[in-house]
Amino acid sequence: MQSEIELYRPQNLAEALTLLADYGPDGTPLAGGTNIVVELRDGHHNCKSLVDLSHLMELRGINQQNGYIVIGGGTTITELIDHPLIGAHAGILREAARLFANPLVRNRATVAGNLVDASPAADTAPPLLALNAEVQLMSQAATRWIRLEDFITGVRKTLLQPGELMFAIRLPVPSDRSAGAYNKVGLRKADAISVLSAAVMIELDDAGLCKQTGIALGAVAPKPFRAYEAEALLFGKVLGPELITEAARLAAEASRPIDDIRGTAAYRKRVVAVTVRRLLTKAVEVLK
Amino acid sequence: MKYQVKPLPQVNLPELRTVGKPLRKVDAMGKAVGDTVYAGDYSMPRMLHGKVFRSKQSSARITRLDVSKARALPGVACVITGFDVPNARLVSDMPGQTGQKQRAGSDVPVLASEQVRFYGEPIALVAAETLEIADKALSLIEIDYEPLPGVYDPLEAMKPGAPVVTPPDNIVARWKIRKGSMESGFEQADLIVENTFRIPYQEHAYLEPEAGVAWIDERGAITIRVSTQVIEHFRTIARAVGVRQNKIHIQGTMVGGGFGGKEDITIEIYLALLAKHTARPVKMVYTREESFLAHAKRHPYVIKHRTGVKNNGQITASKIEMISDSGAYPYLSPYVLLYTTVMAPGPYRIDNVQVDAISVATNNPYTSAFRGFGGPQACFAYEQQMDDIARQLGLDPLDVRKVNYLRTGDCTATGQVIESATWLEETATRAMAALGEQTPDYGSVKIGQGFASYFQSYGRITWMHDTSQAWVGLELDGTVTIRAGVPDLGAGQANSLCQIAAEVLGVPLERVTIYTTDSALTPLSGTSTATRQLYMSGNATLMAATNVRNVLLNRASKHFEEEIEALDIADGKAFNKSDPSQTLDLVDLAKMCASEGMHLSNLALFKAPFTDPINPETGQGQVWPDFTFGSFAAEVAVDTETGEVTILKAAACHDIGRAINRAAAEGQIIGGGMQGLGYGLMENLIVKEGVIKTPSLSEYLIPTSMDYPNIQAIILESGTGLGPFGAKGIGEPALTPAAPAVASAIANALGVSIPEIPITPEKVLAALDLP
């Protein structure tokens, strides 16, 4: 049962930051509400005041600046799907957005909301991790950039401080010699929470050797994470089938999944290896 | 193409004007534009809001129940516990199986007061001025439990010393079939095939959770406007509430999906009690989560088949054992078990059959009716068994079935002679042909095709002496009114009656209006269950409309000075068949009849065949009026590395006797097929120690429109059914063969079969891992 809460609807960003500063730990930023409202109804959220950001245009939009794609925190998942910059430079994020929940939820849910919620299964996290994304946290007093992989610290835990909101997310524009691939394994083809998800990015140098990689996994550990051991194995090498298989095995080894209603830990580990292998193979194919 | 399509026998069905046409259903526009008023949409002045307080234990004694704080909360109109209504029990009685004479405690207490037997069992009712106050009152109810040992596995529950859910023991029902001789049957066999199959729960997951409003009307009757499949529950409610039967008035609404989940009494009993105790209108609408907790599920079964076969596939003996989990209370378990028992051998001609079936009480969620009513569980097992027989004999799955398929004139395992068409090979070959060429394997993805055939009853058990009534009248402006107590579940129950009346009385469909689902004001038509409404109420409507037509033709015959046989009615006019320019408008004809005191309406009663109960020792005797036959085929792609299954193509072919509304029949075939595919592949109600771990639609997944391809619906019309114009039933049969068909396709792709649904990716990998 839900207790009484206060809902504020600030006129602009400055007012939102003032409200968040005034309420401190008692104030929770509200974007699409697709997590918070459900939790409130179930009595799982104990906030006293909500500060509604969903109508603030300052938080919306996607553009290219100084070698980065910058995504406003309040950008909806639907907007990710439709935006040409995402299609051109962050295909794996677009793919994750396409498989995110259902159209009704995608129309309301925001990128910042998905990241701040910090579910182990957050759909936008693996592609953004693979793309080396950073997040911009803003309070009345200051603004700071943090690497996404540092921002999420555990199950539903982040570095977001009272008084802060996530203003933007940015990712360096990948080079022309890079390619990515994404897959979400769910128990149905739409509106499903991940059993596991994986995103990979690879960049080759002119000699065809691996210059840079990003292998990120979701729903197989307390937080979405980068499989660095697997990435290190690939660095500076030709990405052949055996190497890819070994990297995929390392990625599976790095995952620490649990048994839950969607699948067992053993299944997840096994399918991480399959999925990462396939995604790396697919990305290499694209660059051939 | 894998199989030669079997030609159909010559059938000469008369061309009809309205029946058989894919006309827009009479209820379609209201739903499309949002005008349809569902049970949860109603409210009344001075209305209270009702809530149910439920058990948080699966098996426990209630040592203290204190509702005083809840009662004292301002805005609370009443709190009712089992101590306030000690006689409020829902009677569950199948002669010889349940009922107080047979098993003390068969009945379900409306509110538990001493002991709870399942998680979610109702303990108290609250009515308050607002929903918020009602919720607050629930949180103020104080309860202490003393946990009792529970039993959560039917096999465990049958063992000596197991905790007894309700005395005398945990055996809720037993059925058996004895036909021929096991000994000689197995002696004739060249091969004996044995398998054990496990079939899970299924949640109805209708769009519309249980909802209703009740009040006491000016004549003192408790009136309940509710979403239900059975308005005849007014009798049981009257007994439980302690009033006379004619003081309970049920006004059924358009139902937003029932699938058997609104066949048992749901919230109407709580509404009746709260309205009686407060003398004010009370509304109750379940949340999705409460709906999951509150209503029955499909029965899980363990089914063992031991089959003797000749080398050509002919079955010489079939020995089947089945155990179903009834949950904490019997509800319809004995009936469902009977269905599974009688359908257990499948649509096959077998001389030697032995079936032993038991339904067992546990402290799990209770189980009862669900579309198919025990048939889908039987079908999964017998069709997987047929596939395994084919595999072991090295024969094609169709060839094994062809040798055994029931033919018209054959007997079922209980000795019932089948008189209608049994188009099994006809449907199987058409469903498979519709899949076309098999997609080639690619990479680690293996492709397979498979099919399943089935038989499924329509109409209720014949020893229940089922009847239905319908009233049809012609108005003076040439329009037609039907009154029938039929609940419309969205499947087109009401529309079919309209098309039948329009056909018989020769008016366009839009001139027919139907009034349904009122226990006091419409003639009782019986339940919208058991695939019976088209058969039963369709025939009642046909009778009533024909009687009115005869009055009209009699009068028209005088007018035209022609024999009745020379006349017909169509497009709102009576006319001379040999000279169609001679017409008499129905308006004028109706006026003539009225002014001469002729009866322009008729109330008809249709009776199904009445039989005696089957022999309890042998199971021999007639059980249902007739059966629907058909087949379902699927092509699947199985990812052998992740275990994921994708259905690439699906087709269903059923002989439905005669389509009354072709579009509605296709809707049933596709919808039922999807529900069956979900059952086979996805739907997974996880229950631990009696607690549902997937209690919402984000955890218990049902298929979305993205998951499965369109099901090609192939309708065959043998015209041999017992329904109006030769129709059979399709509501339940549509679901039955889908899960086994997809299981067959997966086995075909992998070369190993998985004897347990839902076939999740993990089960696929486990099967592939087997040495």
Q: At A271, which CATH number?
A: 3.30.390.50
Count contacts between A and B (CB, < 8 Å): 50
Domains identified in chain A, total number: 3
Tell me chain A's radius of gyration from C-alpha atoms: 19
| B672 burial type by CB count under 10 A (0-12 exposed, 13-18 middle, 19+ buried) | buried
Strand order in the sheet with B512-516: B512-516, B480-484, B467-474, B601-607
Query: Is residue B135 within 8 angstroms of chain A, CB to CB?
Result: yes
Which of B684, B704, B765 comes nearest A267 by C-beta? B765
Q: Are residues A221 and A271 in the same domain?
A: yes
Q: Which residue has the tokens 């039963």?
A: B536
Query: Is residue B72 within 8 angstroms of chain A, CB to CB?
Result: no
What is chain B's percent helix, strand, coil content, to nearest 5? 30, 25, 45
The CA-atom distances, in angstroms, between A44 and each of A119, A266, B453, B697 are 14, 30, 48, 18
* CATH of residue A48: 3.30.43.10
Query: Is residue A263 within 8 angstroms of chain B, CB to CB?
Result: yes
Q: Which residue of A has its CA nearest to B766?
A: A267
Q: Are residues A71 and A157 in the same domain?
A: yes
Query: Is residue A267 within 8 angstroms of chain B, CB to CB?
Result: yes
Model confidence band, residue A204 (pLDDT cutoffs 50, 70, 90): very high
State residue B253's pLDDT score: 97
Q: Are residues A150 and A230 in the same domain?
A: no
State residue B383's pLDDT score: 98
B693 contact residues in A (CB cutoff 8 A): 261
B701 contact residues in A (CB cutoff 8 A): 187-188, 192
A1 contact residues in B (CB cutoff 8 A): 132, 135-136, 139
Q: Which residues contact B143 (CB under 8 A, 6 or more apart)?
A: B62, B64, B65, B66, B123
A195 contact residues in B (CB cutoff 8 A): 761
Instruction: Judge whether residue A1 has pLDDT over 60.
Output: no
Query: Is A261 in contact with B703 (Cβ distance < 8 A)?
Result: no
For β-strands B711-716 and B645-655, DSSP reports them as: parallel
- pLDDT tens sequence across B467-495: 999 999 999 999 999 999 999 999 999 99
Is residue B615 within 8 A of residue B463, CB to CB? The reply is no
What average pLDDT does range A215-237 have in this prediction? Answer: 98
What average pLDDT does range A98-108 have in this prediction? Answer: 96
B642 contact residues in A (CB cutoff 8 A): 185, 271, 274-275
Model confidence band, residue B2 (pLDDT cutoffs 50, 70, 90): confident
Nearest to B351 by CA among B319, B321, B393: B319
| B693 burial type by CB count under 10 A (0-12 exposed, 13-18 middle, 19+ buried) | middle
State residue A48's pLDDT score: 86
Query: Is B642 in contact with A192 (Cβ distance < 8 A)?
Result: no
Q: Are residues A234 and A130 in the same domain?
A: no
ipTM reported for the complex, 2 dp:
0.95
Q: Are residues A196 and A272 in the same domain?
A: yes
B643 contact residues in A (CB cutoff 8 A): 267, 271
Query: Is B135 in contact with A1 (Cβ distance < 8 A)?
Result: yes
Question: Where do the domains of chain B lie, and which CATH numbers do they carry?
Answer: 45-150+204-294 (3.90.1170.50), 301-461+613-769 (3.30.365.10), 467-607 (3.30.365.10)
Tokens (6 digits) for B36:
């349809």
Report d(CA B594, CA B386) in Å as an integer: 62
Instruction: Judge whether residue B1 has pLDDT over 90.
Output: no
Most A CBs within 10 A among B132, B639, B641, B692, hence the mutation to make, goes to B641
State whether the Cα torsion B559-B560-B565-B568 is positive or negative: negative
A1 in a domain, yes or no? no
Query: Is A187 in contact with B706 (Cβ distance < 8 A)?
Result: no
- pLDDT tens sequence across B689-700: 999 999 999 999
B705 contact residues in A (CB cutoff 8 A): 190
Q: Which residues contact B517 (CB under 8 A, 6 or more apart)?
A: B231, B251, B252, B253, B485, B486, B487, B488
Q: Which residue of A has its CA nearest to B132?
A: A1
Peptide bond before residue B74 is cis, with ω within 30 degrees of 0: no
A193 contact residues in B (CB cutoff 8 A): 698
Q: Counting every residue, how long is chain B?
A: 771
What average pLDDT does range B284-311 have in this prediction? Answer: 98
Among A172, A203, A228, the domain boundary falls at: A172
Query: Is residue A245 within 8 angstroms of chain B, CB to CB?
Result: no
A181 in a domain, yes or no? no
**Shortest CA gap A93–chain B (Å):** 20
A91 in a domain, yes or no? yes
> Mean pLDDT, chain B, as a whole number?
97
For β-strands B222-226 and B248-252, DSSP reports them as: parallel
A13 in a domain, yes or no? yes
Q: Which residues contact A278 (CB under 8 A, 6 or more apart)?
A: A181, A183
Query: Is B704 in contact with A191 (Cβ distance < 8 A)?
Result: yes
- pLDDT tens sequence across B496-512: 999 999 999 999 999 99
Most A CBs within 10 A among B73, B136, B681, B704, hence the mutation to make, goes to B704
- Binding-face residues of A in 167-226 toward B, CB within 8 A: 185, 187-193, 195
Query: Is residue B142 within 8 angstroms of chain A, CB to CB?
Result: no
What are the φ/ψ torsions at residue B435 (nearest 5 degrees)? Answer: -75, -25
Query: Is residue A264 within 8 angstroms of chain B, CB to CB?
Result: yes
Query: Is residue A5 within 8 angstroms of chain B, CB to CB?
Result: no
Rounded percentage of chain A residues whose pLDDT exceeds 90: 94
A270 contact residues in B (CB cutoff 8 A): 765
SS3 B664: helix
Query: Is B641 in contact with A274 (Cβ distance < 8 A)?
Result: yes
Query: Is A1 in contact with B762 (Cβ distance < 8 A)?
Result: no
What average pLDDT does range B345-369 have in this prediction? Answer: 98
**Shortest CA gap A85–chain B (Å):** 27
Query: Is residue B709 within 8 angstroms of chain A, CB to CB?
Result: no
Q: Are residues A47 and A61 in the same domain?
A: no
Report d(CA B386, CA B315) in Å as an integer: 10
Query: Is A271 in contact with B694 (Cβ distance < 8 A)?
Result: no
State residue A4's pLDDT score: 80
What average pLDDT does range B395-409 have in this prediction? Answer: 98
Is residue B26 within 8 A of residue B495, CB to CB? The reply is yes
A275 contact residues in B (CB cutoff 8 A): 642
Q: Print the domain residue range for A218.
A: 192-287
Tell me chain B's radius of gyration from C-alpha atoms: 27
A188 contact residues in B (CB cutoff 8 A): 682, 701, 703-704, 706-707
Which of A102, A185, A189 comes nearest B707 by C-beta? A189
Nearest to B496 by CA among B478, B512, B474: B512
Q: Are residues A61 and A159 in the same domain?
A: yes
Instruction: Judge whether residue B681 has pLDDT over 70.
Output: yes
SS3 B496: helix
Among A172, A200, A223, the domain boundary falls at: A172
Instruction: Judge whether residue A222 has pLDDT over 60.
Output: yes
- pLDDT tens sequence across A122-176: 999 999 999 999 999 999 999 999 999 999 999 999 999 999 999 999 999 999 9
Torsion of CA B152, B155, B160, B162, to 10 degrees: 0
Rounded percentage of chain B residues whose pLDDT exceeds 70: 100
Q: Are residues A247 and A274 in the same domain?
A: yes
Query: Is residue B766 within 8 angstroms of chain A, CB to CB?
Result: no
- pLDDT tens sequence across B529-547: 999 999 999 999 999 999 9
* CATH of residue A74: 3.30.465.10
Query: Is B701 in contact with A192 (Cβ distance < 8 A)?
Result: yes
Query: Is residue B760 within 8 angstroms of chain A, CB to CB?
Result: yes
B760 contact residues in A (CB cutoff 8 A): 187
State residue A51's pLDDT score: 97
Report d(CA A73, CA A63) in Å as an integer: 12
Among A172, A203, A225, the domain boundary falls at: A172
State residue A3's pLDDT score: 62
- pLDDT tens sequence across B646-674: 999 999 999 999 999 999 999 999 999 99
Query: Is A274 in contact with B642 (Cβ distance < 8 A)?
Result: yes
**Shortest CA gap A266–chain B (Å):** 9
Q: Are residues A149 and A98 in the same domain?
A: yes
- pLDDT tens sequence across B372-386: 999 999 999 999 999
Q: Are residues A159 and A214 in the same domain?
A: no
Nearest to A236 by CA among A255, A209, A217: A209
Q: Which residue type does B758 have?
A: P
Instruction: Judge whether residue B107 has pLDDT over 80.
Output: yes
Query: Is B762 in contact with A261 (Cβ distance < 8 A)?
Result: no
What is chain A's percent helix, strand, coil content, to nearest 5? 40, 25, 35
Q: Are residues A114 and A162 in the same domain?
A: yes
Residue B80 C-alpha from the chain's centroid: 32
Report d(CA B524, CA B518) in Å as an integer: 8
Report d(CA B50, CA B29) in Å as an integer: 32
Query: Is B707 in contact with A190 (Cβ distance < 8 A)?
Result: yes
Q: Are residues A47 and A64 in the same domain?
A: no
